[in-house]
Amino acid sequence: MAKVEVPKPDELSKIDYTPPKRGWMDTTVEFKPGTWCYGTRPKYVEAVDLPNPREWKPTDEDWKLPENWREIILEGIDDRLRKYRSFRLFMDICVRCGACADKCHFFVGSGDPKNMPVLRAELLRSVYRKYFTASGKHLGRLAGARELTYNVLKEWWYYFFQCTECRRCSAFCPYGIDTAEITLMGRELINLLGCNTDWIMGPVSNSYRTGNHLGLEPHTVKSNIEFLLDDVETITGIKIEPTFNRKGAEILLVNPSGDIFGDPGNYTAMGILMLFHEIGLDYTWSTYASEGGNFGFFTSNETAKRLYYKVYSEAKRLKVKWIIGGECGHQWRLFHQYLDTWHGPADFLEEPVSPTTGTKFENAKSTKAVHIAEFTADLIRHGKLKLDPSRNDHLKVTWHDSCNTARGMGIFEEPRYIIKNVCNYFYEMPENTIREKTFCCGSGSGLNAGENMELRMRGGFPRANAVKYVHEKYGVNMLAAMCAIDRAALPPLMDYWVPGVRVCGLHELVANALVMKGEKERTTDLRGDPLPGKEAKEDV
C-alpha cells in the first residue's frame, strides 16, 4: 500500500473547531487517509487464537464479519457491564459538561468533534442506552439512544483506534470518567469480531511467541545487546558482560524491547547496562521475558494477561529475589495496576531491597517490581554514583511525563531528581502541559504505525507545541522521556513540528554523566557526539 502524504505543518495546523451542522448521530464515519491503521493480517490473529482471522481492509464495504455479529457485540457489552464497575458507571453518569473536550490531544490537533472524549464515549453509550436502559429502549433518540448498525461499528473502530488511552481527560472530569476504560472496552468488543490493527496484532503475536514485540529470538536479543556493548566499550573503554537467563541472579530486569533494537532507545539500554555494571548489580536479562510493554492491553484484558504470564513465571524459574522494570509507559500502568492482580501473589519473591544502598522499596512490597527511576534516584540520593553533569552540557533538556507513569502511577519527582543531578541545563515545559496534565506523544496504545502519520502529527501537536515553547525560549534541544513508545514516536513528531530537538531516555543522560571506575577519558557522549570542551581534540 502506498504511503500517504502528510500535509505540511502550516497546513496541518489550520484546524477548524466548528462542529458540523448535522448532528453526530447523522454523520457517518469517513475513513480519511492517514488517520487509520491497516487491518490485522490473519496470521497474527491466529497466533493468539483470537476470533475471525481473515484478509480485510478497514475501507472495505464488507468487513467479513460473522453472521451474528450484532449478538456477539451485545453479549460482549452485557458481559463487560457485569465485570467492570467502571464501565457500567461511566456509561451512566456523564452529564456532558464538556470539561474533557479540549483536553484531548486528538481533538486539539484535529478539531474532529468525535475526538472529544465525551463524544467518543457517547458513540458507545448511545448503543448501551438503546439495548440496556429502559429510557433508551422506549424513548430512542430522545434519550440519546441509537441502533447498533454496521456504520456504528465502523465508527467505533475508527474512533476507538484514535484514542491513545492517555487518560488526560479523566484528570479533568468531575466524576473521573476515564475514556481509556471506555475505549479499552470498545476495542475488546470489536476484537470479538476479529477487527484490530496490524500494528497491534503483529507485536502481540510476536510477544507471545518470542517474548518481545519485535519478534527477536533469544540469540538475537543477546547479540543486539552485545552490539550495544561494543559501542559502550569504544566510548568508555569498559567491557561489560551482562548475563542472560541466569539462574540465581538477585534481580530480573524487564525492559522494553524497543530499547535494544532502535535509535534512540538503544542509548537508554546502554545507559542501564552501564549503570548496573558500575554498581556491580547481580542481575540478569531474560530472553523469554524480554518485553516490558504489553500490546495485549490494546486488544483485550485476557490477551494482556496472557502476555504478562512471562514476568512472574520467569522470575520464579530463575529464582531471582525481585524485579526491576525499565523505562516503558504502558508497562508501568500494567506493572503498577494489573500485574499483581493478574498473576500474583508474588510470594516466591522477596520484598525489594537495593543491594547498593540498603533502601527498602516499601511501595513495591507486594508486586516486588521497582521502577528503574525509583532505583536510580535512590542511588544518587545515597551518593553511590560519581556523576559529572557537565558531560551533558551540550544538552538543554526538558522532561516529558509519560502519560501512563504520570496518570497511572504518579511518578513525577524521581525522574526530575535524576535529571537535575546529571544535567546542568534542565527546563520545564509550561505548567498546564506537564505532570498530571501531561500531553500524550500522540502514538500510545498501538498507534505508532506509519500509515496513520497524519493522525500522529495531529495528536502529537499539543506535546510538540509545548516543546517548541521551551525550544524557542531556552534553546532546549533534548526531550527526555521514560517510555519506549515516546522514544519511538517523539523523534518524527519533533522533526515535523520542532526540528532541532532530539529525544532520549532518562538513563542515557545518567550514563553520559556517570564516571565509571577505570574508564578512559571520554570524548563523546553515547551517541558519538563530541562532549563539550572535547571538540578540539576530535579535530586533531
Closest CB to another protein among residues 200, 466: 466
Residue with cell 487518560: 167
Query: Where in 182-211 is the site for another protein (CB under 8 A)?
Result: 208-211
Omega within 30 of 0 (cis) for the link into 242? no
Query: Interacting stretch for another protein, rule CB under 8 A, among 117-125, 256-264, 270-278, 391-399?
Result: 117-125
CB of 323 vs another protein, minimal distance in Å: 11
Long-range contacts of 335-339 (CB under 8 A, 24+ apart): 335/292, 335/311, 335/367, 335/369, 335/371, 336/367, 336/408, 336/409, 337/408, 337/409, 338/304, 338/305, 338/308, 339/308, 339/311, 339/312, 339/367, 339/369
Query: Interacting stretch for another protein, rule CB under 8 A, among 142-150, 419-427, 478-486, 487-495?
Result: 142-150
d(CA 482, CA 476): 18
**Residue 241 lies near another protein (rule: CB under 8 A):** no
Query: Where in 362-381 is the site for another protein (CB under 8 A)?
Result: 362-367, 369, 374, 377-378, 381
Choose which of 147, 198, 282, 340 interacts with another protein (CB under 8 A): 340
Closest CB to another protein among residues 37, 173: 173
Query: Interacting stretch for another protein, rule CB under 8 A, among 35-43, 63-71, 265-273, 457-465?
Result: 457-465
Choose which of 36, 38, 172, 425 interacts with another protein (CB under 8 A): 172
Query: Interacting stretch for another protein, rule CB under 8 A, among 149-157, 425-433, 473-481, 529-537?
Result: 425-433
Task: Determine which helix (DSSP H) or strand (DSSP E) holds 252, and give its type and residue range.
Answer: strand 251-254
**Residue 292 lies near another protein (rule: CB under 8 A):** no
Choose which of 38, 56, 322, 338 interacts with another protein (CB under 8 A): 338
Query: Where in 397-416 is the site for another protein (CB under 8 A)?
Result: 406-414
- Structural contact between residues 145 and 133, judged by C-beta atoms closer than 8 angstroms: yes
Buried b (16+ CB within 10 A) or exposed e, 344-361: eebeebeebebebbebeb
CB of 45 vs another protein, minimal distance in Å: 15
Is 495 exposed, middle or buried (CB count within 10 Å of its CB: 0-12, 13-18, 19+)? middle
Query: Where in 494-513 is the site for another protein (CB under 8 A)?
Result: none
CB of 37 vs another protein, minimal distance in Å: 25
Closest CB to another protein among residues 98, 533: 98
Nearest to 336 by CA among 309, 313, 364, 362: 364
Nearest to 161 by CA among 402, 403, 459, 492: 459
Closest CB to another protein among residues 336, 391: 336
Read out DSSP for 323-355?
EEE-S-HHHHHHIIIIIHHHH---TTS---B-T
**What one-character DSSP code corresponds to residue 87?**
H
- What residue spans of 20-141 are helical by DSSP H? 42-47, 69-83, 85-92, 105-110, 117-132, 134-139
Query: Where in 510-529 is the site for another protein (CB under 8 A)?
Result: none
**Residue 98 lies near another protein (rule: CB under 8 A):** yes
**Residue 250 lies near another protein (rule: CB under 8 A):** no
d(CA 155, CA 142): 21
Closest CB to another protein among residues 123, 484: 123
d(CA 331, CA 408): 11
Closest CB to another protein among residues 182, 514: 182
- Structural contact between residues 425 and 497, judged by C-beta atoms closer than 8 angstroms: no
Query: Where in 32-61 is the site for another protein (CB under 8 A)?
Result: 49
**Residue 97 lies near another protein (rule: CB under 8 A):** yes
Choose which of 337, 450, 499, 528 interacts with another protein (CB under 8 A): 337
CA angle 104, 255, 338 (to 5 degrees): 60
- Structural contact between residues 506 and 349, judged by C-beta atoms closer than 8 angstroms: no
CB of 520 vs another protein, minimal distance in Å: 28
SS3 call for 72: helix
**Residue 110 lies near another protein (rule: CB under 8 A):** no
CB of 393 vs another protein, minimal distance in Å: 27
**Residue 297 lies near another protein (rule: CB under 8 A):** no
**Residue 137 lies near another protein (rule: CB under 8 A):** no
Phi, psi of 458 (to 5 degrees): -70, -45
Query: Interacting stretch for another protein, rule CB under 8 A, among 273-281, 440-448, 465-473, 501-509?
Result: 465-473
Distant-in-sequence, close-in-space partners of 540: CB < 8 Å, separation ≥ 6: none
Window 316-335: contact mask with another protein (x via CB under 8 A)? -x-----------------x
